[in-house]
Structure 1
Amino acid sequence: MTRTNAWVPLAQWLAILAMTQEHAIKFIWPDSPAVPWAILVGRIVFPLFAGMVAWHLLHNTRRPLRYGCRLLLVGLVAQLPYALVVTPDKLNVCFTLGLGLLAVVLLVRLEERTLQLAAGLTLLMLALAAHPWIEYGLPGLLLVPAFALAFRYPRHTAAALPLLFAAILINAIPARMVVSLATAVVLLLLANGSLSWRIPVPAIPRPLRLSWYPLHLLVITLVTAGITS
C-alpha cells in the first residue's frame, strides 16, 4: 500500500474552519438558532485533528517527542483564552491530543511486551483519574492511540474497533455520534486506500496552523468582551 498525504491539507482546512465557525457562533451568538447546527458540523473537528496527529506521528515526523511537546505548548498558550471563552474547569483539546500522542510514543519505545502492558495499564489508570479535567475525557485521550493503531494496521478490521468505539463515545447525542463516527470511518478509508483524494489543496502554513487555535480563541474573547462591555 502506498502512503499518501494528499488528504491532509483538506483535513486541515476542514478542521480549522469547522472549529472556528462552531466557536464563533456558539460563544458570540449563543442565542442563535444556528447554534445546534454549528455544533453538529463541529463534530468533525476532533476526529480530524486526532487522525492527523496520529498520521503525522506514524509517517511524517522523525521527532515524535518534540511533536507531542509542541502540541502541549500550543495548549498552554491557548489555556487562558480557552478558560475565558469555553470553561475554566478543563484543559483544552491540545492537551488531549498531545497526551494521547505521548502515550503512543512511550508504548512504542518500550520493546518488551511486559513493559508495554505495564505502561499501558498505568497510563489507563492515569487517564481515568485525569479525564474529568480533560476536554473529551477518557474517549478523547484514547482517540489518538486508537487512530495510530488503525493506521498502523489498515487492513485489519479488529485494529479499527477501538477507534470506532472512541469516535462514538466522544459525544453524548446520537446525531453528533454519527458525525464523529462517519469522520473517523472516512479517515480510515483514506488511510487504507479505499478512498483517495486527488484534487490538490494548498497546505496551511505551519506558523498559521500552530497559532490558529489560541488566536481564534483570543479573538472570540475580545469580541465577547466588547459585546458585554
Structure 2
Amino acid sequence: MSHWTGWGQWLALITMTVDHITRYLLPDSWDAGWASSSIGRIAFPLFSAMVAWHGLFNTRSPLRYAKRILIIGLIAQLPYMTMPRDGFQLNICFTLAAGLAAGILLRDLVFRDRSFYRGAFPHHPHHDRPLDQPRKASAPTALAILSLVLLGLAWWVLGSWVEYGHLGLAMIPLYMLAFAGLGEHGAGRLTGLTAAASALPVLLNAGLMNSSDMAKGFTVATSLTLVLLAAGAWRWVPRVIYSMPRRLWLAWYPGHFAVIALLLHWPS
C-alpha cells in the first residue's frame, strides 16, 4: 500500500534540489525562476503527504517520527540560515515535524478510538488494537477544548517562524484527514460524498500557498495526485526499481544545503 512513497522520495529530493539551485545559485540573468515556480512547487506537498501517510499508517510512534524529522531540521538549520532571505526562519523540517505532531494530537483528541483511520485501512499490519477491543473512554470535553485552544495558539505563533508559514503547518493535518476519508471502505452515496469532502480542505490549502498561477497549479495538481493515490490509485503504481538508501534520504536535506552554502560563500 505504501510502495508509491518509494517513487515519492526520489521525486521529492529532485524537485526540492532543483528549487534550491534555481533560487540560490543561478544568477538572475539566466531567468530560471520558472523552474522554482513549477518543478519546485512539487516538493513541499509531496514531503507533507509522505509524512502524513507514514505518520498515520506506517509507524507505531508518530511522535518519535516527528522527533527524527526535527533532528534533521536542527542539523540543517545552520547552513539553511546562510541562504539569502529576509529575516530569521526555521527550515521545512520544523514545519513538517510540527504539522505531524499537530495532526496526531488532533487525531487523538477528536477520534479517541482511532477508528477514523482504522476503518479506512482495517488490515494494515501496524494497527495496534484488535478490531473487537472496546473503545477507549473519551477525554473530558473541557480538557479537549483547552487542548484545541492551545494547539491553535501554538499554530498561530509558530506560523510566523517556519517555512511556508501557517498554511504549511496545516498541510499535514489536512492530508491526514483526506487520506483517512478517501481510504474508508463503504458503499453508498453519503460515504462517497464524505470522502470527497475530506479532500477539499487540503486542495484549498494547497491553492492558497502560492501567489503565481503557475505555482498554484503545480501545488494543487501534486496534492490532487496524492489524494487520488490514497483513494485507491496506489494499486496501479509499480514498485520503485531502486529504493532510496536510508542514509541518503536522511542526509540529503542538510547535506545539499551545506554544499549550496559552500558554493555561495566560498571566497572567489
TM-score (norm 1): 0.91
Tell me by how many angstroms 1:121 deviates.
3.0
Structure 2, unaligned stretches of length 5 or more? Answer: 113-137, 183-191
| Aligned-partner SS, 1:132 | coil
- The aligned residue for residue 148 of structure 1 is 176
Amino acid in structure 2 at the alignment position of 1:94: C
> Does the CA-based 8 Å contact 1:107-1:119 persist in structure 2?
no
Q: How does 1:92-171 map to 2 (within 5 A)?
A: 92-110=91-109, 111=112, 112=138, 114=141, 115-154=143-182, 156-171=195-210
Cα offsets for 1:90-127 (capped at 9, x unmatched): 10000000000011222333433734443233212221
Secondary structure in 2 matching 1:85:
coil
Of 52, 59, 62, 2:60 maps to 62
Structure 1 equivalent of residue 120 of structure 2 = none
- Which residue identity is paired with 1:125? L
Alpha-carbon distance change, 69 to 203 in structure 1, aligned in 2, over 3 angstroms: same
Give the CA deviation at 1:26. Answer: 1.8
State the shift of 1:199 in Å. Answer: 5.0
Q: What TM-score do the two structures reach when normalised by structure 2? A: 0.79
When structure 1 is superposed on structure 2, of 61-70 and 194-203 the one drifting more is 194-203
Deviation track 1:38-79 (CA, whole Å, cap 9, x = no partner) reads 332100000000000000011111111110011111111110
Q: Structure 2: which amino acid aligns with 1:99?
A: A
Secondary structure of 2:27's counterpart equals coil
Match status 1:175 vs 2:172? no
Q: 2:25 aligns with which of 24, 28, 53?
A: 28
**1:225 Cα deviation after fit:** 1.5
Question: 1:34 offset after TM fit, Å?
Answer: 1.6
> Secondary structure of the equivalent of 1:204?
coil
CA distance in 2, matches of 1:135, 1:101: 15
Counterpart selection for 1:208 from 248, 265, 268: 248
Gaps of 5+ in 1: none
Deviation at 1:150? 0.5
Aligned Cα RMSD in Å? 1.7
- On the 8 A contact 1:50/1:144 being kept in 2, the answer is yes
1:53 aligns with 2:81: no
Shift of 1:218: 0.3
- Please state which structure has a larger fraction of its residues in helix: 1
State the partner residue of 1:198.
238
Determine the C-alpha separation between the residues in 2 that align with 1:209 and 1:18. Answer: 14
Check whether the contact 2:37–2:214 (CA below 8 A) recurs between aligned residues. no
Tell me the CA shift for residue 86 of structure 1.
Answer: 4.7
**Matched residue type, 2:89:** K
Query: In 1, distance between residues paired with 2:75 and 2:240?
Result: 32
Counterpart AA for 1:221: A
Q: What amino acid sits opposite 2:197 in the alignment?
A: A
C-alpha spacing 1:148/1:158, structure 2 compared with 1 (3 Å): same
Q: Does the CA-based 8 Å contact 1:15-1:48 persist in structure 2?
A: yes
Cα 1:51–1:198 change in 2 (3 A) is same
Aligned partners of 2:83 and 2:38: how far apart in 1? 19
**Partner Cα distance (2:10, 2:145) in 1:** 37
* Superposition misfits of 4+ residues, deviation over 6 angstroms: none
Q: Is 1:15 aligned with 2:5?
A: no
What is the deviation of 1:172?
1.8
